C-alpha cells in the first residue's frame, strides 16, 4: 500500500523497503516516512541498502537496532 494512503490506518507489522538516504532525503519525505513508521502497532522493519536516511540517523540510537544482512 502506498504510504500516502495509509494515514489513519494501523497494521500489526509494517515493512518499509528502500529506506535509504537516496529515497528519503528532503523535508517533504519526512512526513511520508513518519506516517509509514507510525502505522506499525507491533513491529516495524525498515530496510535500507547503503546509507541510512537522515530521519533514522536523527532518532535516538536506543530507539532502533541496526542489523546487517550478514547477521540475519
Give me the residue spans of the domains in the chain: 12-62
pLDDT of residue 59: 92
Closest CA to 57 of 28, 33, 32: 33
Fold of 12-62: Double Stranded RNA Binding Domain (3.30.160)
pTM comes to 0.79
Phi, psi for 29 (deg, rounded to 5): -70, -25
Torsional sign, CA 23, 10, 69, 52: positive
The predicted model gives 18-32 an average pLDDT of 91
The predicted model gives 14-21 an average pLDDT of 93
For every residue of 10-30, DSSP letters joined together read -EEEEEE---BTTTS-SHHHH
Distance of alpha carbon 55 from alpha carbon 25, whole angstroms: 8
For residue 20, what pLDDT band results from cuts at 50, 70 and 90? very high
Amino acid at each position: 500500500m502506498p504510504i500516502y494512503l495509509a494515514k489513519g490506518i494501523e497494521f500489526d507489522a509494517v515493512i518499509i523497503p528502500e529506506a535509504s538516504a537516496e529515497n528519503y532525503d528532503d523535508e517533504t519525505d519526512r512526513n511520508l516516512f513518519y506516517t509509514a513508521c507510525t502505522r506499525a502497532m507491533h513491529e516495524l522493519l525498515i530496510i535500507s541498502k547503503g546509507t541510512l536516511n537522515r530521519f533514522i540517523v536523527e532518532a535516538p540510537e536506543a530507539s532502533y537496532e541496526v542489523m546487517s544482512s550478514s547477521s540475519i
